[in-house]
Amino acid sequence: MRIMGRLSRPDRDEDPVPNRRHLLANGAALVSALVGLGATRFARALEDTIVHSDAEWRKRLTPEQYDVLRQAGTERPFTSPLLHEARGGVFSCAGCDLPNFSSKTKFDSGTGWPSFWAPIEGAVKQTEDSSFFMTRTAVSCRRCDGHLGHVFDDGPKPTGLRYCMNGVALKFTPGVA
């Protein structure tokens, strides 16, 4: 096996099945080769990931937060106190406190959910959601994988996107945005 340089391998006299040391050495080289210059960023993202058991999430979150963040539920429209939040600040994931959106990108979409035209760079991830007989793009927190809402292409400039978030999945911290 050869990926971007010479990799360690068992001596020819050894059993042809790779030993643990061989797999670890080649696995690290493979990851490094695949990730390239982003290896440090990739490693930090893995270190920063938050994983809890289902029971632990149930203890940490309210029933409404658990339904949205862990079960991909949706809060009822026009029920979130964050819908009308107009102060400067940051909207963070209610599951892990990672800042996800700046108040500078918040706008009134008229849909009943807090909406933003862009997330904070690197704070969210997007996946295809084909529930309810339609295809949408789901948005989740990069750190804890908590479901935040969906993104649509009917938002304002400069992005033309509408990140339609469940307010119960977010916490607001006033201050510099």
| Candidates 93, 141, 144, 164; catalytic one | 164
In this structure, what token pair is assigned to residue 29?
């080289």
Given a contact cutoff of 8 angstroms between Cβ atoms, the answer to whether 100 and 148 are in contact is: yes
For residue 123, with 0-12 CB atoms within 10 Å meaning exposed, 13-18 middle and 19 or more buried, which class applies? Answer: buried
Output the CA torsion 123→117→83→131 (10° steps). -70
- Residue 164 annotated in active site: yes
Determine the straight-line distance between the first and last CA of the chain, rounded to whole angstroms. 49
Q: Which of 115, 64, 55 is nearest to 85 (CA)?
A: 115
Positions marked active-site:
164
